């Protein structure tokens, strides 16, 4: 007999509810006025998430040979015509101030060994004309996350909720306009399996990306697209979800769980080789190993398929051993766990999903099309990344838009709390979902997305994927109604919605641009337009809505 659980609803009230505890969520929480009560939601522990595992760094114009205009030009080129120039300029212009703010928070970035000791060391990554990547060895995300968390824990106006999972947003119809208003969220406490109602004047989604929808990813298990799926169900515009970035170089080892090999390793002279030792990137792009990620990932994918290889090689063993150990201590140590000494031998690598370039559509102030609902970081589509994200612009985006939300919320500090009456149905008579069904569905969906909606796509595969996902969606919604809501069930439901959105977006784009490559439409269109999806729109899509 299955155990029956009772899920009790309690209300918690805040001025600002931040769902997500990465660089975006934590930096906003720290900057909000001490007079505002803040609820900060984390799915697991505070540090767990994509920020913590970011190796490369954060791009900023600090060098005399560099310029804001060059950073903008590089980003626009990588974005394949879909970047919003005003956003790119604003973010690049603020990059120096953002680095200074992070230094004030105690982030210990790597400094130059020679010359002025107070100057930060800058490295180069794919798509960048000049070295402009500020980093903390090869553990930049960890350094940033640790510093921000240390400050967040000390701030009295911030209440932390670890091991809590958002289920859905709570919205109300606005009497004065057609625009809906977000007034809170239903949150599951994983520790006692209770559902709480979190009321807030302002809700900020900072939940990260959706890369766990694919079988192979460099991301942690938390990247299940929760924020995007919740926003979609609430009625938010979702933009450009066909552009899922595959990182070219993840360690290929059955025990490595797609450990990321930072792009900065190639920036420091790492070479991509076939298993027989031949180089190949020159055949695909004049920039070689430092071409944008979409080009490098497709090149590796192509060579693997043409030759039947399981992997290619990334080699930095021609550099001094002392340099490698100091510059890439984390990668060196991790590879040694798998008996790979990168100072002596190349490492086997394969592409894996890494970053969600689309997301919840926002404006320059991080506002969504639902009043008092904001989105920042990887969960959002700001227009910074376009059809392909340039390396190390993501952490920069997190901090930039956290400041924008801060500025916007300050204008409406006198906003009143809304009464919430539409509580979730009590679950006391529901049964526990069978874990085996959830795990099987999870694996089947991720495998389907990898094989049918991967680096290279076709209409036939996309249409077949759409049919299969529609079946999964119907099954999971039935399960959601009949069974007790659990963390695994929430993530599975969100994963299915994300898969549906990606497939619908990919089918809508009748061209190959940036990260989206379709063999049936190999050419790029003259006009670059966004793909916008909204659950309230007929057929769920506005094709190529103008920017």
pLDDT, tens digit, for every residue of 400-426?
999 999 999 988 877 777 777 544 544
The pLDDT of residue 79 is 94
pLDDT of residue 113: 74
Asked whether the CA dihedral 252, 253, 254, 256 is positive or negative, the reply is: negative
pLDDT above 90 (res 118): no
Residue that the structure tokens 């080892």 belong to: 253
372 closest CA partner among 409, 426, 333: 409
Report d(CA 518, CA 63) in Å as an integer.
39
Rounded distance between C-alpha atoms, residue 483 and residue 181, angstroms? 29
Domain 9-243+357-410 listed as CATH 3.40.718.10: no
Domain-wise residue ranges, the chain: 9-243+357-410, 252-352, 435-541
Fold of 252-352: Flavocytochrome C3; Chain A, domain 1 (3.90.700)
Q: What is the pLDDT of residues 308-361, one digit of tens each?
A: 898 999 999 999 999 999 989 989 999 999 999 999 999 999 999 989 999 999
12-62 pLDDT, tens digit each: 999 999 999 999 999 999 999 999 999 999 999 888 888 877 777 999 999
3-state secondary structure of 492: helix
- Residue 158's pLDDT is 97
- CATH fold, domain 435-541, is Methane Monooxygenase Hydroxylase; Chain G, domain 1 (1.20.58)
Computed over every residue of the chain, the mean pLDDT equals 89
Exactly one of 132, 293, 389, 446 is catalytic; name it: 293
Does the pTM exceed 0.85? Answer: yes
Give yes or no on whether 252-352 and 435-541 have one common fold. no
Our separate counts of H helices and E strands in the chain read 14, 19
- What is the C-alpha to C-alpha distance for residues 292 and 278, in angstroms, rounded to an integer? 21
| pLDDT above 80 for 252 | yes
Residue 513 to residue 243: CA distance in whole angstroms:
9
**Locate tokens 């060579």: which residue?**
303
Burial (CB count <10 Å: 0-12, 13-18, 19+), residue 100: exposed
- With 60 as the cut, is the pLDDT of residue 3 above it? no
Is residue 461 annotated as part of the catalytic site, yes or no?
A: no
**Strand locations in 192-287 (E):** 194-205, 238-239, 244-251, 271-273
């Amino acid at each position: 007999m299955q155990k029956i659980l009772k899920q009790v609803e309690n209300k918690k009230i805040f001025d600002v509810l931040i769902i997500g505890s990465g660089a975006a969520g934590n930096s906003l929480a720290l900057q909000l006025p001490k007079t505002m009560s803040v609820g900060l939601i984390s799915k697991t522990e505070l540090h767990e998430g994509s920020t913590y595992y970011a190796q490369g760094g954060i791009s900023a114009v600090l060098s005399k040979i560099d310029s804001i205009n060059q950073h903008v030009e590089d980003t626009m080129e990588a974005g394949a015509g879909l970047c919003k120039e005003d956003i790119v300029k604003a973010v690049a212009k603020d990059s120096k101030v953002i680095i200074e703010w992070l230094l004030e928070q105690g982030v210990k970035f790597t400094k130059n060994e020679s010359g002025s000791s107070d100057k930060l060391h800058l490295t180069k990554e794919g798509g960048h004309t000049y070295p402009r990547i500020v980093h903390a060895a090869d553990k930049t995300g960890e350094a940033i996350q640790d510093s921000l968390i240390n400050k967040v824990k000390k701030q009295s106006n911030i209440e932390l909720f670890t091991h809590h999972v958002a289920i859905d947003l709570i919205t109300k119809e606005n009497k004065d306009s057609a625009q809906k208003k977000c007034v809170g969220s239903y949150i599951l406490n994983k520790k006692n399996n209770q559902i709480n109602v979190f009321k807030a004047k302002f809700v900020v989604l900072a939940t990260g990306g959706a890369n766990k929808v694919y079988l192979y990813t460099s991301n942690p298990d938390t990247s299940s697209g929760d924020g995007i799926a919740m926003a979609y169900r609430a009625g938010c515009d979702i933009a450009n979800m066909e552009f899922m970035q595959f990182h070219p170089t993840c360690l290929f080892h059955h025990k490595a769980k797609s450990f990321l090999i930072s792009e900065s390793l190639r920036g420091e002279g790492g070479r991509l080789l076939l298993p027989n030792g031949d180089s190949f990137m020159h055949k695909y792009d004049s920039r070689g190993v430092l071409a944008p990620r979409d080009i490098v990932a497709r090149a590796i994918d192509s060579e693997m398929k043409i030759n039947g290889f399981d992997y290619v090689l990334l080699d930095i063993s021609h550099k001094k051993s002392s340099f490698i150990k100091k510059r890439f201590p984390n990668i060196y140590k991790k590879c040694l766990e798998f008996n790979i000494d990168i100072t002596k031998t190349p490492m086997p690598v394969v592409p894996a999903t890494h970053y969600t370039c689309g997301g919840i559509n926002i404006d320059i102030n991080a506002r969504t099309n639902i009043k008092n609902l904001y989105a920042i970081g990887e969960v959002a589509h700001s227009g910074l990344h376009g059809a392909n994200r340039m390396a190390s612009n993501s952490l920069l985006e997190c901090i930039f838009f956290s400041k924008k939300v801060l500025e916007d919320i300050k204008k409406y500090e006198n906003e009143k709390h809304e009464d919430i009456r539409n509580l979730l149905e009590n679950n006391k008579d529901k049964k526990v979902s069978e874990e085996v069904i959830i795990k099987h569905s999870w694996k089947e969906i991720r495998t389907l997305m990898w094989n049918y909606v991967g680096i290279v796509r076709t209409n036939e595969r996309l249409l077949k994927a759409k049919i299969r996902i529609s079946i999964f969606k119907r099954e999971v919604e039935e399960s959601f109604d009949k069974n007790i809501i659990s963390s695994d069930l929430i993530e599975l439901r969100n994963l299915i919605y994300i898969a549906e959105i990606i497939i619908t977006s990919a089918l809508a784009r009748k061209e190959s641009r940036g990260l989206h490559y379709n063999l049936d439409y190999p050419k790029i269109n003259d006009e670059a337009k966004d793909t916008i999806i909204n659950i309230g729109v007929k057929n769920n899509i506005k094709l190529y809505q103008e920017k």
